[in-house]
Amino acid sequence: MTGGGGFLGSAIVRRLIEKGFRVRSFSRGRYPALEKLGVEGFCGDLADPEAIKAACKGCEIVFHVAAKAGIWGPYEEFHSANVEGTHNVLAACEFNKIRKLVFTSSPSVVFDGEDMEGVDESVGYPKTYKAAYPETKAVAERLVLSQNGESLATVSLRPHLIWGPGDTHLVPGIVKRGRTGGLKRIGSKQKLVDFTYIDDAAEAHLLAAERLQAGSPISGRAFFISQGEPQPLWDFINRVLAAADLPQVEKSISPKLAYLAGWVFENLYRIMRIRRDPPMTRFLAEELSTAHWFNINAARQDLSYEPGTSFEEGFVRLREWLRSESGLALLR
């Protein structure tokens, strides 16, 4: 498991442990919580091929979850982690004669800046991207799927906007911006967007692992994963804010103005070599002003995937977590 200490990675690890599997995690740092579960920890960088080869020795299957995510940053850093790192994982699988690889991708690899409503896996990759993350994840996904064959069976999962207790990205980002008043609706229309509860995202990975083998119906394919209930984007954001006892988002700006602001911030941050995320980018402006929800019939049919957590139950759990010691510590 690459990225076993992350939000999704740790959820998959816990499920594997519960099912009696021995798990090894490859991450940049140590995670005492995983070690307490009996997980064997390997520290290293995805850019180090020898470290990954050593970590994969003796394994039967690899879950490649680790990646550099984000809306901003030098392309080289995303390429190193997401493309070169994936190449190194594939090489480690070949070197250690590992037969199965489950890759964690993202629906953003096919996002072209326009509304995507109910599209399935037949939709192609766009010609250009406005952020390094989706571009490098698309390259990595194509690399993984191209390596599917008799010696190594591969599958790619595309869970969309994973959320829930323990979230280290989506929910904290919404809450932190909500506290500073930095959130504004983009556009006046309520666009529908897919989300994936953390338990469902983890379960999809285990289902894929169970069914994956050379020549199987899922090998060499990508699958969209979500809760199967597209939500109005700003309704979801406001429910997260309500769970954190923060005011609702009421102010709005036009999509064109948001996109222009993103262009200005990107150039300003690039010239001034500012490494933190800008308050707006072109990619983020398009993400927040378009519909993006996906047909998950293929996952239902070929993975036997079925979302198991409703939004109502998910928000009950999220609210409880936000009031817990770990939730408060993460959001400070």
Which residue out of 31, 129, 133, 197 is catalytically annotated? 133
What is the C-alpha separation between 258 and 256, in angstroms, rounded? 5
Report which DSSP code applies to 28: S
Cα–Cα separations (whole angstroms), residue 160 to 105, 157, 323: 9, 10, 25
Cβ–Cβ under 8 Å, residues 293 and 118:
yes
How many Cα atoms sit within 13 Å of 187 on the Cβ side? 17
Report which DSSP code applies to 2: B
CA triple 165-171-177, angle to 5 deg = 150
Q: Is the dihedral of CA 274, 277, 282, 285 positive or negative?
A: negative
Beta strands in the chain (DSSP E): 24-27, 40-43, 61-64, 100-104, 116-119, 153-159, 162-163, 185-186, 192-193, 196-197, 221-225, 231-232, 252-253, 292-294
Backbone angles phi, psi at 235, to 5 degrees: -65, -45
Q: Is the dihedral of CA 308, 27, 224, 93 positive or negative?
A: negative
Residue 133 appears among annotated catalytic residues = yes
What is the C-alpha separation between 287 and 29, in angstroms, rounded? 31
What is the C-alpha separation between 320 and 179, in angstroms, rounded? 19
Beta strands in 52-198 (DSSP E): 61-64, 100-104, 116-119, 153-159, 162-163, 185-186, 192-193, 196-197
- The set of catalytic residues is 133
